[in-house]
Amino acid sequence: MKNLVSCLAKIKDPRKAKGIRHDQTTTLLIMIMSIMCGHTGLNAMARFAKSHREELAKVMPLPRGKAPSSATIKRLSKAINFEQICKAFNKWMIQYFKEENIAIDGKSINSTVSSCHDSKQNFVSLVSWSKI
């Protein structure tokens, strides 16, 4: 079974070797983890890394115990080939799709009635489904 780190480690680092403090694989992993937690902006990713710095340092190399800054994340995100990240992530994820899966998306409607928080007023609509 492949892990995400080994898949990301195969991506060529586009940055110049001089001045690199944070490993590309570690930074990409932090970026993916922050996105999965809902922190999608560059500054939000850096705040996520900083706030979880101690836990991250236990499982991945952080130079001098410091998390990548928003500038580091920005430089890497501008330089890296997005298709390579998608391929690496999909290569890792595909091992979990052993059987037929169905993706479902639902939406809820709020604030359409005077007491939308009342359990009788909750409305969820199935928007789409797809066989994977």
Q: Which one is predicted more confidently, 132 or 34?
A: 34
What does the pLDDT read at residue 131?
A: 59
What does the pLDDT read at residue 22?
A: 86
Alpha-carbon span 115 to 40, nearest angstrom: 32
pTM over 0.85: no
> For residues 124 and 108, is the Cβ–Cβ distance under 8 A?
yes
What does the pLDDT read at residue 96?
A: 79
Q: Can you name the residues that pair with 129 across neighbouring β-strands? A: 104
> For residues 48 and 34, is the Cβ–Cβ distance under 8 A?
yes
**Domains in the chain: boundaries:** 4-96, 102-131
Tokens for 108, please give them. 């809820």
What does the pLDDT read at residue 34?
A: 92
Backbone angles phi, psi at 107, to 5 degrees: -125, 145
